[in-house]
Structure 1
Amino acid sequence: MSTKLPGRLARLLGGLALFGVSVALMVRADLGLASWDVLHQGLAERTGLSLGQVVNLVAVVVLLLWIPLRQRPGFGTVANVVVVGFVADAALALVPPVLPVAGRIGLLVVGVLLNGLATALYLGARLGPGPRDGLMTGLAARGLPIGRARTAIELGVLALGWALGGTVGPGTLLFAVSIGPLAQHLIPRFTVPAQRRPATGATPPRLA
C-alpha cells in the first residue's frame, strides 16, 4: 500500500467521490435515508437549499464540535466539505428514480456498502478525517471503540433529523446499525501505514 502523497491524495478524493455517490444511491432507493442525510433532508426542506448545499453547510457547523474533542483538521477535512455535497448533487442529477422495489433494495444495499468503503478510503489516506468522522475518531481517541462511537453518533443524528421531518425507513435503520461495524472492519484494511522517523544514522524502514 503506497504511502506517497500522490497515492494518498488519489485515495482521499476517490473515497470522497464514492461517498457522494453513495448518498445519491440511498436517496434514489427511497427506502429511508442514511442517518446524517435524514438531518440534511429535513434541513433542506426547511431552508429550500439543495441536499448537497446542506451537506456542505452542516459539515462546516460540525467542525465547531471538534473544539472540545481537540481534533485538528487537515487537507482531507477541507476536501470533504467541498467534494461530497457537490458529487451528491451531480449523482442525483444523473441517477433517475427507480420504481421496482427489488431495484430500490439493490440501490440501498450498494449505497450502504459503498459508503463504508468510501469512509475507509478517505480516512485511510491519513490526510484528515471528514467533519462528521472527526466526531467518531475524537471519541475513539478517548477510549470508545470506533464501532460504538459511529453507531452512537448515527442514532443521535437520526433522532434529530426525524424531528426535523427527514425521511426515515427500513434503510435508515439498516444504515444506522451496520455502518459502525462496517467501518470498524474496513478502516484498518485501507489505512496507509504511518511513517516513522528513523533514529539518526539508521536506515529508514521499508513500508509495503
Structure 2
Amino acid sequence: MKKTILGFIRLFIGYFVCAIGMVMTINANLGVSPWDVFHQGLGNVFNLPIGRASIIAGFIIIFIDIYFGQDIGWGTIFNMIFIGIFVDFLMLNRLIPIFNGFFPSLIMMLLGMLVLGYGCYIYIGAGFGAGPRDGLMVVLTKKTNKSVRFVKNSLEIIAIIIGYFLGGSVGMGTAIMSIAGGYFFQFAFKTVKFNVAEVNHRYIKEDIRFLKDKFIAVEKGEV
C-alpha cells in the first residue's frame, strides 16, 4: 500500500512538472507544440475548443495504443485529465512569465522542452502507464527498436502534417519543437539513465483481475 501511495504521488508530481514544461513552451509565444497543431485542426473540423479536442484526440490515440499492444494504466487515464487541469492552474494564475523578446522566448521554449522531458521521466517511471501520446511513443520504441528521439520526432512531424491540413496553425516554434523535442527527451532520459522499454507498468486489466479474484474468493468463503 505504501509503495502504491508513493507511486501515485510520483505520478502527480510528474504531471505537474509536465504542465510546467508545456506552459513554458506556450508562454514562449513562438508557436504551438506539434500535438497542439493536431488538436487545433481537429477542433476546426468538429468546431471544438482545443482542450476538448485534446481529450478526444487522447481517446483516439488510446485505441491506437491498444492496437499496437500497449496496455492501459490508470496513469493513461489520469494523464488526459490532470495535466490539462495543472496547465489551466498555472496559466490562470500566471505563475510562469511570458516573454516577448525572441531570444528570451527561445530560451524559455528550449528549457520548457527539457522540463517536459524530465516530467515524462518522473510520471512514466511511476509505473502506472504512460499517457496516450507518450504510450504510443513507448510502444513504438519497443516495437521498432529505434531511439526515443527518432520515434518522438516522427510522431510529432506526422501530427503537424495532419493538423496543418485540418487547419491547425504552424509557427517557427512548432518546427523547432518537432525537430528538437526528441533530442531533449532523449537527453533528459539519458541524464537519469532511464529506459522507457524497461519500465514494468501496473495496468488497469491487472487491477480488474485482482478484484475479480478477490470477489470469487469471497464468494467461495476463502477470505
TM range (shorter): 0.7 to 0.9
- Cross-structure match for 1:139: 140
State the SS of the aligned residue for 2:144.
coil
- Cross-structure match for 2:182: 180
| TM-score between the two structures when normalised by the length of structure 1 | 0.80
State the SS of the aligned residue for 1:126.
coil
Please list, as runs of the form range in 1=range in 2, the aligned pairs for 1:33-52 lying within 5 A after superposition.
Answer: 33-45=32-44, 47=46, 49-52=48-51
Give, in whole Å, the separation in 2 of the partners of 1:31 and 1:8: 35
Alignment deviations for residues 75-112 of structure 1 (CA, whole Å, 9 cap, x no partner): 11111011122222333323375433344223312321
- Cross-structure match for 1:119: 120
- Cross-structure match for 2:15: 16
Give, in whole Å, the separation in 1 of the partners of 2:135 and 2:199: 18
Give, in whole Å, the separation in 2 of the partners of 1:141 and 1:47: 33
Structure 1: where are the runs of 5+ without partners?
Answer: 196-208
Give, in whole Å, the separation in 2 of the partners of 1:168 and 1:116: 22
- Cross-structure match for 1:108: 109
- Residue 20 of structure 1 deviates from its aligned partner by 2.3
- Residue 168 of structure 1 deviates from its aligned partner by 1.7
Evaluate the alpha carbon distance shift between residue 161 and residue 15 of structure 1 in structure 2; reply closer, same or farther with a 3 A threshold: same
Question: Is 1:74 aligned to 2:73, yes or no?
Answer: yes
Letter in 2 for 1:134: G
Once the two structures are aligned, what percentage of the paired residues are identical?
26
State the SS of the aligned residue for 2:32.
coil
- Residue 31 of structure 1 deviates from its aligned partner by 0.5
- Residue 155 of structure 1 deviates from its aligned partner by 0.8
- Cross-structure match for 2:210: none
Alignment deviations for residues 116-157 of structure 1 (CA, whole Å, 9 cap, x no partner): 111111111111011011111111121332221111111101
Alignment deviations for residues 63-84 of structure 1 (CA, whole Å, 9 cap, x no partner): 1101321110011111101112
- Cross-structure match for 1:200: none
State the SS of the aligned residue for 1:142.
helix
- Residue 15 of structure 1 deviates from its aligned partner by 1.3
Letter in 1 for 2:162: L
Asked whether the 8 Å contact 1:56–1:84 carries over to 2, the reply is no
Evaluate the alpha carbon distance shift between residue 194 and residue 175 of structure 1 in structure 2; reply closer, same or farther with a 3 A threshold: closer
Give, in whole Å, the separation in 1 of the partners of 2:34 and 2:130: 18
Asked whether the 8 Å contact 1:35–1:172 carries over to 2, the reply is yes
Q: Say which one has the larger Rg.
A: 2
Give, in whole Å, the separation in 1 of the partners of 2:19 and 2:47: 20
- Cross-structure match for 1:148: 150
Give, in whole Å, the separation in 2 of the partners of 1:50 and 1:16: 22
Give, in whole Å, the separation in 2 of the partners of 1:33 and 1:44: 14
| TM-score between the two structures when normalised by the length of structure 2 | 0.75
Give, in whole Å, the separation in 2 of the partners of 1:140 and 1:181: 14
Give, in whole Å, the separation in 2 of the partners of 1:26 and 1:8: 27
RMSD: 2.6
Evaluate the alpha carbon distance shift between residue 177 and residue 187 of structure 1 in structure 2; reply closer, same or farther with a 3 A threshold: same
Give, in whole Å, the separation in 2 of the partners of 1:131 and 1:65: 9
